Chains A and B, each alone.
Chain A
Amino acid sequence: MRTPDRHGDVMRWVRRGTAVLVLLIGWIFIYFHNNGHVTPPVVIVGLGYLAGVATIYNLFRTGASAAAADEEDDGAAWGLPLGARGELEREKRTLLKAIKEAEFDHQMGKLSKADVDQMIGQYRGRAIEVIKLLEDPGTKKGGTVREQIEREVRARLEVEGGRKKAADLGGRKNQKKAAEAAKAAARAAAAAGASGPAAAAAAAAAAAHTDEEADDELPETPDAPADATNGDPTDDAVAAKSEMIVPAADTSEEASR
């Protein structure tokens, strides 16, 4: 569903209010048309009127939705929404439940101490691995490889966004060029069977190369504000912005579909 803006909210309430008003007017009309007698046919007519109003209301919404402009969507809702982090969270929940269940079974007398210790040991070990992965800064925002590459490119452009001319046509060309280059590089890397990090690195390198070419083309601009980070401002700033993760093997397979 769309995320409503204020105008959308108001319009939605106007529509609903109109529908309710039409409904009430119709019911009142039916009531008085039958001289105030509420008989089974009158009740049925009232219900039928309600169904009719609901039909028209939803028909309108059906058409309006179909005719609406395509909205921005972050794409994550169409792919694998869980991503690596989501899978880890799910696995952690499963392991926690399994530990509790094993403890419960032991207390119920179904498992010996040795068996339950062995089982719980396995579960705890894996759970700790999962917690470590989840706490790794790189895992704060996961996603598919495509998402990571696009985030990388956006982050790069954002870091270098001090260049006002990035907002003009040339800047747009830069962004487009950089994004296209990044995507092409990622596709090529994935097709070559590269793993996720390698694909992402290839994309970043392609984006950087494109930017360097663009820099040569662009007139000089005032220096961008220095990034607060130390070290190489470009790479560290981009990394901080994009918070790349090391994707799991399966997600890179998904990205290559």
Chain B
Amino acid sequence: MNTANAPFSPVALVGTIALLSAYLMAAWCVAAGIAGNARKSRRLVNSAVYGLYGFGALIALTSILLIYGFVTHDFAIKYVAATSDISMPTTYKVTAFWGGLDGSLLFWVLVLALFSTIAILINAKRHRDMIGYVVGTIMVVQVFFISLLIFTKNPFATFLTDPPVDGQGLNPLLQNYWMVIHPPSLYIGFVAATIPFAFGIGALASGRLDDRWVGSVRVWMLICFGFLSLGLILGGRWAYEELGWGGYWAWDPVENAGFMPWFTATAFLHSAIIQEQRGGMKIWNIMMVVMTFFLTIFGTFMTRSGAVQSVHAFGEDNVLALQFIVFMAVILIVSIGLIVYRANRLTTKMQFESFMSREFAFLVNNWILLVCAFFVLFATMFPTISEALDGSRVSVGIEFFNRWMTPLGLILIFLAGAAPLLAWRKTTRDKLFQQFLFPLSLMAAVVVGLLIFMWPQATTLTPLFHDNLRLPISLVCFGLVAFGFGSISQEFFRGAMVRRRQTGSDPFTAMIGLMIAKRRKYGGYIIHMGVLVMFIGFAGKAYDRNIDATIGCTGMGCTAQDLATKRPIIEVGLDERKSAPDRVRWALQYLDLSPSTIKALQSGAIPPTAKDLCPSCTVRELPKGSPSSFEFGDYTFLYEKIIHTSDDHRDAVTAQMSIWRDGENLGVVYPAKWDYRKAGAEATTEVAIRVFAQEDVYVVLTGYDLESQLANFRVYINPLISWVWIGFLILAFGTLVCLIPQSLVDRMTGRGGDKGAGLGNVASLGILALIVTALVGGTASDANAQAEHVTAGMGMGDDGHGYAAENRPTNDTAKKAMQELLCVCGCPRESIFDCKCGTASKLRAKVAAFIEQRDDRGNPVFDLATKEGREKAYDAALDSFVTEFGGEQVLATPRSKASWLLPSFAVVGGLGLLLVVGKRLITRGQAANAARAPIELTPDDDQYQDKLDDELSQTD
């Protein structure tokens, strides 16, 4: 090897030294923190704390060095060369820091360092007796990630020979505003789960298992929940705007990696209330904290080790996988070991006394959330598990997830509505009817109303659990959402009335006072409302539809058009080859003419030609069947022109299309395809979305031919989808309400004191971070962006027809089979029904031919007129593909029994177990309550009664 040409990068050298120094410092913090706490040495603990701050500063320096390498085009560094180039805007050079695997790991360390610095600064005095263990735990995580960076994925690794003159550039999919903000918010959510875990371990190790740690941890977990929610919704928004498949959630493994800890974090936020209110579920809470952290590490393992396949994943790396597996084993062994060691200190005197209690509702809610987390984990890992078991790797598509997660989600929204109606310990049976009356009435009214006004769409059936079990899920969903709204609005109304009676204030002031005094409860209700609104959007998915159309632009006016007058239409309508009377009739029907012009036209004073009649008139109504238009739903789409532009970076082909409804022009959209010049860069499709209150119209240019001006469009109509985004905004607002710090409330009420100041500072920081992130995210809502996995030139075949529109199914059996079979073109798990490539078109033709095949006598092999015949055709089509492609990886839904047996067992068995165990707990609780001797008060206790009343008056 000729080392004479080995590039030297001072940035890489200093960066590597900084990484090594950080590793040593982290190791010192682990040793000093744990030993200091165990030996009760204040100096060692202080040293560990300052070491943590120093580590944070050192990692910040390391990150800045890497960013400096990006900004100064230091292509001697491999990572810089792989993820940036000279022509990239500075913003994307900075965000390229987390664009690849190596940098993303360093970014994780950076975010954790910053968060842990804040957490320790705030809590060092409050939890001084266990802060050493907390620091040690956090730094163990840091040691792990730093060791990955140093030994496996060094972002400062340099080329051994001449470095490239220019870099490869960042993936075009990542060069947009959403991808600036989405990874940081998701990483913050992941990292925020480490802090509660560290405090949990600290509490276990130190034996400090009173409820104070729960209060501190709860705020951090709320921040984790808030940022995970933000990260997930931004990812969904990015996918919706950029990926061109009309949806926002595909149960991709990387999406699931962020979703799993969200479930357990949500479970903890509910069960922590039980511990704070009633002192129960201590072991459960610690387990949820451990599980949330474990799932963040597991999700990171999934996406970085190659254990699962995903368009978002970083690729396969067995060494990395092994390192993660060892670390996860250590986490579980240490955590569970500590829990078992301290189990006797985690017992509780709390009893469950009734099924109709808020505690039991929370318990069921927690169980469902845990089942959701583990189902997503199971289904995401199922392809890997099946490959490990029998060598065949199956696929798990969107439908499989939806069939299980939908009913679980419906149970959750039912609980979100029912739990607020219940009291702590027990709800008086006679009062149950009163509580449930309004919400149930609202639910019934909505269901009946939908059935009346939206028949038959309201009865659209959706498969649940199994293909043969189809129910009107959307209708049920709308009903449960109405139930939830009724319940929560009743809580707000009645609560405000109670507060009004207590304080004598007006209703508005009473409502605000209620929300502030009981902000955790009512902030939680607002979050529930946000989730309910999101479910409206989810329910709209059942009514999604799409169409593929290949159309041409009308001839002579296509390249030079006057948009305002729709000249192509006018040119065609007033074509002089048509008879004069026909032209007059056409003009009177479709053109917006003045009364004098109409009179002159009818009298023959003006000839019915475009030049004479209509130099600048407008089209009043779009003629149906225009060669440049097609109808779909209530809309008419007019393809006006195609524009080809290019610059240094890319070629852009943009179609101009106007959307019409009932003769009214609703606006113009510009779907496009961008083809980047950089070698190896993917082409992207820019989606055009027109948002209406009740639905989105989503237009994708799937193919084009510049010579013939033919264009292939796919149009999706997505009802109610905007409610998903609106629901998130409500959820975010609710999170902010929950985070209102006590210090602020004390100041507003004039109580003073720094009670909970530690929590207040955390909460303040959390609010500030969420507001800043929300503002940044909000201003990005108008940002244009780019994306798509469709390759350049894709969509148009040699004969000029778009592939997407070719070989569409002509019967339901073929459609169902096409939706079940995955395309083998390399696209991320799209079915051949959805994929827009030529391979998918050919496979669709094969499916259609197979189902419609005839025997030697010319009779159809499969009788599609009967149900049995259709099922036989469907199964045979799938079998033939499995045989042809050598495995079930071509199927979207696994056919093995394990894929539905295990989830069934978990869900049904778990709920049954919950009921049985619950019954025993409740019986025991009722017996304990009955056996409790009443406390006898004497007249001497009157003074204490007064003192108690005084203290109660000071309590909210």
A124 to B32, alpha carbons, bound, how many Å? 47
Count residues of chain A with CB under 8 A from any CB of chain B. 66
Which of A97, A104, A109 is in CB contact (< 8 Å) with B435? A109
A78: Cβ under 8 A from any B Cβ? yes
Q: What residues on A are CB-neighbors of B435 within 8 Å?
A: 109-110
A51: Cβ under 8 A from any B Cβ? yes
A-facing residues in B585-639 (Cβ within 8 Å): none
A55 contacts B57, C-beta separation under 8 Å: yes
Tell me the minimal C-beta distance from A41 to chain B in angstroms: 5
Given A81-B129, A110-B421, A54 and B57 touching (CB < 8 A)? yes
Which of A40, A67, A125 is in CB contact (< 8 Å) with B934? A125
B64 contacts A1, C-beta separation under 8 Å: no
Q: What is the chain B residue whose CB lies nearest that of A257?
A: B207
A75 to B46, alpha carbons, bound, how many Å? 16
Q: What residues on B are CB-neighbors of A55 within 8 Å?
A: 54, 57-58, 61
Given A51-B60, A79-B129, A59 and B54 touching (CB < 8 A)? yes
Q: A-side binding surface: helix, strand, loop or mixed?
A: helix
A45 to B68, alpha carbons, bound, how many Å? 8
B42 contacts A73, C-beta separation under 8 Å: yes
A44 contacts B68, C-beta separation under 8 Å: yes
A66 contacts B47, C-beta separation under 8 Å: yes
A48 contacts B40, C-beta separation under 8 Å: no
A-facing residues in B423-448 (Cβ within 8 Å): 423-428, 430-431, 434-435
Given A96-B951, A115-B426, A48 and B47 touching (CB < 8 A)? no
A65 to B949, alpha carbons, bound, how many Å? 49
Tell me the minimal C-beta distance from A124 to chain B in angstroms: 6
Q: What residues on A are CB-neighbors of B937 within 8 Å?
A: 125, 128
A193 to B41, alpha carbons, bound, how many Å? 30
B65: Cβ under 8 A from any A Cβ? yes
Given A62-B54, A65-B43, A97 and B955 touching (CB < 8 A)? yes
B50 contacts A110, C-beta separation under 8 Å: no
A166: Cβ under 8 A from any B Cβ? no
Which of A45, A58, A112 is in CB contact (< 8 Å) with B57? A58
Tell me the minimal C-beta distance from A61 to chain B in angstroms: 4
Q: What is the chain B residue whose CB lies nearest that of A104?
A: B498
Given A55-B54, A131-B948, A132-B944, A68 and B43 touching (CB < 8 A)? yes
B427 contacts A110, C-beta separation under 8 Å: yes
B431 contacts A109, C-beta separation under 8 Å: yes
B932: Cβ under 8 A from any A Cβ? yes
Q: What is the chain B residue whose CB lies nearest that of A75?
A: B40
A174 to B956, alpha carbons, bound, how many Å? 54
Q: What is the chain A residue whose CB lies nearest that of B41?
A: A70
Q: What residues on B are CB-neighbors of A112 within 8 Å?
A: 428, 430-431
Count residues of chain B with CB under 8 A from any CB of chain A. 68
A98 contacts B50, C-beta separation under 8 Å: no
B115: Cβ under 8 A from any A Cβ? no
A105 to B419, alpha carbons, bound, how many Å? 13
B952: Cβ under 8 A from any A Cβ? yes
Q: What residues on A are CB-neighbors of B434 within 8 Å?
A: 109
Tell me the minimal C-beta distance from A15 to chain B in angstroms: 12
Given A77-B129, A102-B424, A40 and B46 touching (CB < 8 A)? no
Q: Which of A58, A70, A102, A131 has the most CB of B within 10 A?
A: A58
A58 contacts B46, C-beta separation under 8 Å: no
A59 to B61, alpha carbons, bound, how many Å? 14
A127 contacts B948, C-beta separation under 8 Å: yes
Q: What residues on B are CB-neighbors of A61 within 8 Å?
A: 50, 53-54
B128: Cβ under 8 A from any A Cβ? yes
Q: What residues on B are CB-neighbors of A57 within 8 Å?
A: 54, 57
B64 contacts A128, C-beta separation under 8 Å: no
A65 contacts B47, C-beta separation under 8 Å: yes
Q: Which of A86, A87, A96, A105 has the most CB of B within 10 A?
A: A105
Q: B-side binding surface: helix, strand, loop or mixed?
A: helix
A164: Cβ under 8 A from any B Cβ? no
B125: Cβ under 8 A from any A Cβ? yes
A119 contacts B431, C-beta separation under 8 Å: no
Q: What is the chain A residue whose CB lies nearest that of B45?
A: A65
A81 contacts B208, C-beta separation under 8 Å: yes
A128 contacts B430, C-beta separation under 8 Å: no
A62 contacts B58, C-beta separation under 8 Å: no
B124 contacts A128, C-beta separation under 8 Å: no
Q: What residues on B are CB-neighbors of A192 within 8 Å?
A: none
A75 to B428, alpha carbons, bound, how many Å? 49
A44 contacts B67, C-beta separation under 8 Å: yes
Q: What residues on A are CB-neighbors of B25 within 8 Å?
A: 59, 62
Q: Which of A59, A67, A98 has the most CB of B within 10 A?
A: A59
A102 to B53, alpha carbons, bound, how many Å? 45
Tell me the minimal C-beta distance from B310 to chain A in angstroms: 33
A-facing residues in B444-473 (Cβ within 8 Å): none
Q: What residues on B are CB-neighbors of A47 within 8 Å?
A: 60, 64
B195: Cβ under 8 A from any A Cβ? no
B-facing residues in A68-94 (Cβ within 8 Å): 68-71, 73, 75, 77-82, 86-87, 90, 92, 94
Tell me the minimal C-beta distance from A78 to chain B in angstroms: 4
Q: What is the chain B residue whose CB lies nearest that of A125?
A: B935
Q: What residues on B are CB-neighbors of A126 within 8 Å?
A: 935
Tell me the minimal C-beta distance from B486 to chain A in angstroms: 15
B944 contacts A131, C-beta separation under 8 Å: yes
Q: What residues on B are CB-neighbors of A127 within 8 Å?
A: 948
**Contact string, A143-162, partner B, CB cutoff 8 A, digits 1/0?**
00000000000000000000
Q: What residues on A are CB-neighbors of B64 within 8 Å?
A: 44, 47-48, 51
Q: What residues on B are CB-neighbors of A234 within 8 Å?
A: none
B51: Cβ under 8 A from any A Cβ? yes
Which of B40, B44, B71, B955 is in CB contact (< 8 Å) with A44? B71
Tell me the minimal C-beta distance from B353 to chain A in angstroms: 10
Q: What is the chain A residue whose CB lies nearest that of B43?
A: A68
A90 to B53, alpha carbons, bound, how many Å? 33
B58 contacts A119, C-beta separation under 8 Å: no
B955 contacts A1, C-beta separation under 8 Å: no
Tell me the minimal C-beta distance from B766 to chain A in angstroms: 23
A100: Cβ under 8 A from any B Cβ? yes
A212: Cβ under 8 A from any B Cβ? no
**Contact string, A111-141, partner B, CB cutoff 8 A, digits 1/0?**
1101100010110111111011000000000
Given A68-B43, A73-B42, A62 and B51 touching (CB < 8 A)? yes
Q: What residues on A are CB-neighbors of B945 within 8 Å?
A: 124, 128
A108: Cβ under 8 A from any B Cβ? yes
B646: Cβ under 8 A from any A Cβ? no
A218 to B208, alpha carbons, bound, how many Å? 45
Given A48-B61, A58-B50, A62-B54, A111 and B948 touching (CB < 8 A)? no
A82 to B57, alpha carbons, bound, how many Å? 35
A105 to B434, alpha carbons, bound, how many Å? 13
A7: Cβ under 8 A from any B Cβ? no
A104 to B522, alpha carbons, bound, how many Å? 14
B277 contacts A48, C-beta separation under 8 Å: no
A111 contacts B495, C-beta separation under 8 Å: no
Tell me the minimal C-beta distance from A113 to chain B in angstroms: 9
Q: What residues on A are CB-neighbors of B425 within 8 Å?
A: 119
A112 to B426, alpha carbons, bound, how many Å? 11
B28 contacts A51, C-beta separation under 8 Å: no
A57 to B128, alpha carbons, bound, how many Å? 22
A2 contacts B42, C-beta separation under 8 Å: yes
Q: What residues on A are CB-neighbors of B934 within 8 Å?
A: 121-122, 125
A129 to B948, alpha carbons, bound, how many Å? 11
Top-5 shortest CB links A-B? A125-B935, A58-B54, A54-B57, A51-B61, A66-B47
**7 other A-B residue contacts (CB within 8 Å) besides A47-B64, A59-B54, A98-B278:** A44-B68, A48-B61, A55-B61, A65-B46, A66-B32, A101-B277, A111-B427
- Could you list which residues of chain A lie within 8 angstroms of chain B, going by C-beta atoms? 1-2, 40-41, 44-45, 47-48, 51-52, 54-55, 57-59, 61-63, 65-71, 73, 75, 77-82, 86-87, 90, 92, 94, 96-102, 104-105, 107-112, 114-115, 119, 121-122, 124-129, 131-132
Chosen A-B contacts, 10 in total, with CB atoms closer than 8 Å, are A2-B42, A48-B68, A51-B60, A51-B61, A62-B28, A78-B129, A97-B955, A98-B424, A108-B491, A111-B431
